[in-house]
Amino acid sequence: MTRLSSDELRDGHVFNGFDYNIQVWVVDGIIRRCGHPASMRSAGLSCCNASRYADQRISEVPGAEIFPPEMTQRA
């Protein structure tokens, strides 16, 4: 599959954009919180990966997309 988005990649990960593997938005290398209502979270469980991984660095989350060096740029 070819990636046709305008995501910014750095150090092998999405730095600004959407990580398709774990389905989260990333801003400045940090996973954004989801916008789901609290009612979607039952008994303290996460409603989605964005809820589960919110505020973590994308590079530290297992399963996040990893890109080859020729596709990424360093800051």
Q: What is the mean pLDDT of residues 1-10?
A: 71
Q: What is the SS3 assignment for 1-16?
A: CCCCCCCEEECCEEEE
Q: pLDDT tens digit string along 21-43?
A: 999 999 999 999 998 888 887 77
Give residue 18's domain range.
8-67
Q: Specify the pTM.
A: 0.81
In a domain, 74, yes or no: no
Has residue 57 been placed in a domain?
yes
Overall average pLDDT of the 10-19 stretch:
94
Task: Note whether 23 and 36 are within 8 A (CB).
Answer: no
Domains identified in the chain, total number: 1
